[in-house]
Amino acid sequence: MFMRIDHIGIACRDLEEKIALFSGLFELTVVAREVNEEQGVKEAMLHIADGEGGGSYIQLLEPLSEDSPVGKFLAKRGEGVHHVAFGVPDVTEAMEQIGAKGVRLLDARPRHGSMGSSIAFLHPKDTGGMLTELVQAAKA
Ligand code: V0V
Ligand code: CO
């Protein structure tokens, strides 16, 4: 079902500061930036490698408000790993397959994600405490 790790999402208070940190430490380059109002984030994708069906990235996330998912996470847990996103060939199919196993889907339908992808989230309480995102990359 999973083709690769698409990205690891990192919650930060200051996006520009963390871009400077990650690009300095690990020599990663920002390949996309976006404000996603629906998800309540300002985000940047730092490219790591290319894989089957898409690349893999670090996604840095700054909340647009305190009551957004990342805003609440920062208040509760502080900066750090927020979610792990897996690349899937077909996000709707993956949602059906995983949903049929009793995992709560946080999205009734796929949403718009970074770089034209289609995404959906799974409840962290049903996946061992790890907020999991499914990503179908945009067609190349
Ligand atoms: C909350 N919890 C987490 C968590 N956030 N556990 C692991 N990882 C996280 N990131 C835990 C929390 O500690 C609670 O456990 C429990 O889940 C319920 O949390 P809550 O604080 O009561 O509820 P909320 O209102 O904070 O909701 C949590 C969920 C929410 C996960 C339901 O954040 C959500 O719907 N997330 C999906 C959307 C999202 O995260 N978007 C931002 C990334 P205890 O303390 O009761 O034990 S956008 C993105 O990645 C994009 C655009 C992209 O990739 O392209
Ligand atoms: Co993400």
Rounded distance from Cα 129 to ligand 1 centre (Å) = 10
- The overall average pLDDT reported for the chain is 97
pLDDT 10s digits, 49-95: 998 889 999 999 999 999 999 999 999 999 999 999 999 999 999 99
Mutation probe of ligand 1 site: the residue of 12, 131, 133 with most atoms within 8 A of C-beta: 131
Q: State residue 110's pLDDT score.
A: 98
Rounded distance from Cα 109 to ligand 2 centre (Å) = 16
DSSP string, 57-68: EEEEEEESSTTS
- Residues labelled catalytic: 7, 43, 59, 83, 133
Residue 65 to residue 113: CA distance in whole angstroms: 18
Q: State residue 20's pLDDT score.
A: 98
Residue 10 · residue 81 · CB < 8 Å: yes
- For the cut 80, the answer to whether the pLDDT of residue 140 exceeds it is no
Q: Which two tokens stand for residue 13?
A: 């208070």
Q: What pTM value is reported for the model?
A: 0.98
Q: State residue 69's pLDDT score.
A: 98
